[in-house]
Chain A
Amino acid sequence: MEVLTPRTLDEALRLKAERPDAVPIQGGTDVMVELNFDRARPAALLNLNEVGELRGWSRENGSFLLGAGLTYSEAMETQLAEALPALAEASRTVGGPQIRNRGTVGGNLGTASPAGDALPPLLIGDAEIELASVRGERKVPLTEFLTGPKRNALADDELIVAARVRAAAGPQTFMKVGPRNAMVISVVSLALTVDRERDEVRAAFGSAGPVAGLVTTPLTELDGFAERIAAAARPIDDVRGSAAYRRRALSVLTARAVERCLQ
């Protein structure tokens, strides 16, 4: 095994093209667990910590460009929390402080777990994922980027550069069901926004299907929305909860989230 540590995005893309088997590592909160438990022995690790272009965030018109290396702690800071409240709320529920200081939005996208806490908030923000390789750049809507449990549309020579998200155009919230407040993988989660510009409600669920899913409705057709979300989910029975419980919880969370956002 070897570690490749590029200093620029160009260098990172060149290394990824030369070594498509290299596993990208940013905060390490997923990759290191695999290594520590002997579940993975990649031929190479691509350490992205020193690539400045992946850090931080910027504002572009009505959108926010979140670098793949943006940590959950950074997503909780005031300016971003005001523009993307559901993402900030979701970030507060990730792990504990130690995990939030290292774990990143890009890592959540790369791992593409159905339970990834950042994914529902990004979905309600109509996120587009910016991917790059030595061949060029492309933008993929998050709904197409997530292709299955722990699977995404990233090619072997590509890296996740950023997520472009619409700023909240009305109230947003995020809710998560788990056995305690900190350090839990969600049993089911929900992000919801009332979009005053488009007069629609967008909701996205996590841990209730092979991928996090988005459901939208015009503001005038909110009746039965909670049931529609529950019906759109394709949950399974697993150690964290049953499919029936997840459907029921989703419908309850949706009703509460709508109430919270419209009051």
Chain B
Amino acid sequence: MRIELTVNGERREADVWAGESLLYVLRERLGLPGSKNACEQGECGSCSVLLDGRLVCACLVLAAQADGHELVTVEGLGEDGGLHPVQEAFAETGAVQCGFCTPGFVVAAADLLARNPHPSEDQIREALSGNLCRCTGYAKIFDAVRLAAGS
């Protein structure tokens, strides 16, 4: 079946199998590998994207459910091809070890700061509780979010 959606401001079409996830469409059909494929059950947050402005796991959205909807992926967070302030803060604080979880954390942190520009420590932890970093780099990740919130 064919679906049509807006991805990072651009109209895109894709021929998809009925049972496939939005994550598969992004990575394998639309050439957007920034959203990572790991647990495929909504446990790790590495495929976090914004669907109609809401933070979701792309692995748990049926591709057909995104038909006619608007999507922002990590590739489209920054304006004019530049980095989003959260991405700059991750680079500045060294909030990256292996980097696999980074796109998901960046999207979740950007979503938090868009809704709440000055989050408390607890609010940061809560907002990132759906994302896992197996290198256990959380301290630097929290530093990055605090830096982005201050900038």
| Contact A96:B60 (CB < 8 A) given known A2-B18, A33-B42, A101-B54 | no
A36 CB to closest chain B CB (Å) equals: 4
Within 37-63 of A, Cβ neighbours of B (below 8 Å) are at 37, 41, 45, 47, 49
Contacts of B55 in A (CB 8 A): 97-98, 101
Contacts of A27 in B (CB 8 A): 60
A182 located at the interface, meaning its Cβ lies under 8 Å from any Cβ of chain B in the complex: yes
Complex CA gap A73/B53 in Å reads 14
The interface stretch among B7-15, B25-33, B91-99, B125-133 is: B125-133
B74 located at the interface, meaning its Cβ lies under 8 Å from any Cβ of chain A in the complex: no
Within 3-29 of A, Cβ neighbours of B (below 8 Å) are at 3, 5, 25, 27-29
Contacts of A33 in B (CB 8 A): 40-42, 60
| Contact A98:B62 (CB < 8 A) given known A1-B17, A3-B18, A33-B41 | no
Contacts of A96 in B (CB 8 A): 45, 129-131
**CB-based contact B62/A1 at 8 Å:** no
Complex CA gap A98/B50 in Å reads 9
| Contact A182:B129 (CB < 8 A) given known A37-B41, A49-B65 | yes
**CB-based contact B129/A28 at 8 Å:** no
B88 located at the interface, meaning its Cβ lies under 8 Å from any Cβ of chain A in the complex: no
A242 located at the interface, meaning its Cβ lies under 8 Å from any Cβ of chain B in the complex: no
Contacts of B61 in A (CB 8 A): 28, 32, 102
**CB-based contact A1/B18 at 8 Å:** yes
**CB-based contact B57/A98 at 8 Å:** yes
B110 located at the interface, meaning its Cβ lies under 8 Å from any Cβ of chain A in the complex: no
B48 CB contact (under 8 Å) in A1, A2, A98, A182: A98
A222 located at the interface, meaning its Cβ lies under 8 Å from any Cβ of chain B in the complex: no
Residue of B nearest to A5 (CB): B64
B43 located at the interface, meaning its Cβ lies under 8 Å from any Cβ of chain A in the complex: yes
A99 located at the interface, meaning its Cβ lies under 8 Å from any Cβ of chain B in the complex: yes
Q: Report A97-137 CB contacts with B as 1/0, cut-off 8 Å.
A: 11101100000000000000000000000000000000000
Complex CA gap A27/B65 in Å reads 9
A–B pairs, 11, beta carbons within 8 Å? A5-B64, A35-B21, A35-B62, A36-B41, A47-B64, A96-B130, A96-B131, A99-B60, A101-B54, A183-B43, A183-B130
Counting from the closest, the 4 A-B pairs by CB-CB distance are A96-B130, A182-B129, A3-B64, A36-B40
Q: List residues of chain A with CB under 8 Å of any chain B CB.
A: 1-3, 5, 25, 27-29, 31-33, 35-37, 41, 45, 47, 49, 73, 95-99, 101-102, 181-183
